[in-house]
A and B are shown apart, each in its own frame.
Chain A
Amino acid sequence: DAEITQSPRHKITETGRQVTLACHQTWNHNNMFWYRQDLGHGLRLIHYSYGVQDTNKGEVSDGYSVSRSNTEDLPLTLESAASSQTSVYFCASSDSGQGGYEQYFGPGTRLTVT
């Protein structure tokens, strides 16, 4: 079955370290998104991509970067992790060929920055 996976599921890192969170989808969706979820803030968009080599900043992009070298993957990189980036991160994808309405979410990565 097609799916969207994230790895690792849990990560503890130190302030200042570079961290990369992986997202892989097997639906062949053009659109991919990264969100962070924090209590009291809901889900906030970090970066998104509408296809290979396309990346765009979302609402809370400072301190994060993404690259899209193929359809299946959109890794999220924290260049220099900060305690404020402790959060749960979700990757999502949608099919522009079907209108792009419904986003399918991965299981999430819980990141703790100490």
Chain B
Amino acid sequence: QQQVKQSPQSLIVQKGGISIINCAYENTAFDYFPWYQQFPGKGPALLIAIRPDVSEKKEGRFTISFNKSAKQFSLHIMDSQPGDSATYFCAASMDSGAGSYQLTFGKGTKLSVIP
């Protein structure tokens, strides 16, 4: 059972455009929703994260929108740049106790930003 569904699998955006990646989750116990960015040959790195008590979080050109009732969240990349070309993973997590969070990842979206 896939607990976090991510779409699209791949995305091509023109430089300067908006990239949008969507995720949906099933488990209402999840309380932490990060996005990870991965460049080829590298490990994933935390990009931005949100908790369900807010509907939006913005960091520079990156924004997470969160809809708790629909159990959906999305990543928006404004003014997309070729350097943003990477694979993006959404994830969901809940506290397993004593400050220990396990991440359940979506399957990833490969973003290509073309000049």
Contacts and interface: CB of A to CB of B under 8 A. Distances in A.
Do A and B bind?
Answer: yes
A96 B100 CA distance: 6
Interface residues of B, number: 26
A105 B38 CA distance: 10
B98 A108 contact: no
Given A43-B44, A108-B43, A103 B103 contact: yes
Given A43-B44, A90-B43, A106-B43, A100 B89 contact: no
A42 B100 contact: no
Contact residue range for chain A? 20 to 34
Given A31-B100, A96-B100, A101 B42 contact: no
Nearest to B108: A42
Interface in A67-85: none
A25 to B, nearest CB: 12
Nearest to A9: B41
Contacts, number: 68
Dominant SS among interface residues on chain B: strand
B99 A99 contact: yes
Contacts of A31: 100
15 contacts: A41-B107, A42-B89, A42-B105, A43-B89, A45-B103, A50-B98, A94-B101, A99-B99, A99-B101, A101-B101, A103-B46, A103-B103, A104-B46, A105-B36, A106-B43
